[in-house]
Chain A
Amino acid sequence: MPEDVSDLVAAAKDGDRSAFDELVRRTYAETYTLAYRMTGNDDDARDVTQEAYLRAFRGLKRFRGDARFTTWMYRITANCAATHMGKRRKHRHEELDESVPLADEHPASSPELRMEVTDLRARLVEAVEQLPPKLRSVVVLRDVYDLPHEAIAAELGISESAAKVRLHRARRRLREDLYPLPSEESARAV
């Protein structure tokens, strides 16, 4: 079994099933992590991870070695998550409005609970999870996974300008929630 991911990819492209399985073993936790960050729950993240590897398996011949395998998987995962969440939304007959201030429904926003959640990392994770899915996807892909705007737009099926608008909104909410300016903090205290 080759050590290198690129060698595994080459072997898998030549039809070596065990090489593809090894690629899955090495990358599935990372793929699941992105799926979880985008969907915000374990059930959906599992479905998205499974679907992403099926698509990768079917499309492996089209994978050109110029991108890293993990980056390629991120893009597939992003696309699967967007499709999955779109289906879910339709299924539930509810349109999640980006402009709804969900942060206020968030228990950690109440002062007592905010005191309990002192760990900044935990607060960051919570704040990201509390973003509406459309905003969360974009900020996760751009600011956590460093995907370029055009890749994000392509995988989410939106225009680049829409992706940028969502990114700005997401960043602004997170910034206000986690790193308020002194003026915002005094406004909150009132």
Chain B
Amino acid sequence: MRCEQVVDDLADLAAGHTEVVAPDHVAHVEHCLRCQAEMVQYRKLLRALRTLRTEVLEPSPGLLADVLAGIEEEAERHAIAGLLRGRRVAYLGGLAAATAAAGGAIVLANHARRRVKLAG
């Protein structure tokens, strides 16, 4: 096996993720000083990258205010949409009730008509 074939595995090995690397690749690195030297360099790189996680950048001024204003606007829009939806639900509810009432009236009318027929 050539070093080129395992080059993409060296960082995973340096991170301790042996399980994601093919066993024959691991075996090569175990016996190859060149790959081991490169693995050491990857280890330094990964450690350095990890330290960036603790670094928090100072955002330029006004960002917090802008974010909060954006949320405020979104909340307002949401509330208004909710109100309109509420109205629409009420309107549809009213329509349903009216239809049911009308249906009931028709039934009653039929009853009445039948009764009229029966009576007649």
Contact = CB atoms under 8 A, between A and B. Distances in A.
Interface of A: 17, 20-21, 24-25, 28-30, 32-33, 36-37, 42, 45-46, 49-50, 53-54, 57-58, 120-121, 124-125, 128, 139, 143-146, 168, 171-172, 174-175, 178-182
Contact of A29 (B37, B51, B58): B58
B75 A57 contact: yes
B41 interface: yes
Given A17-B75, A168-B8, A168-B11, A54 B70 contact: yes
Contacts of B74: 54, 57-58
Interface stretch (B42-50, B87-95, B107-115): B42-50
Query: Closest 5 A-B residue pairs measured CB to CB?
Result: A179-B41, A32-B59, A143-B49, A168-B8, A33-B57
B contact face: mostly helix, strand, loop, or mixed: helix
Interface residues of B, number: 32
Contacts of B42: 171, 175, 179
B19 interface: no
B46 A143 contact: yes
Interface of B: 7-8, 11, 34, 37-38, 41-42, 44-46, 48-53, 55-60, 63-64, 66-68, 70-71, 74-75
A contact face: mostly helix, strand, loop, or mixed: helix
Nearest to A124: B48
A174 B64 contact: no
A146 B50 CA distance: 8
A113 to B, nearest CB: 20
Nearest to A45: B59
A183 to B, nearest CB: 8
B62 to A, nearest CB: 9
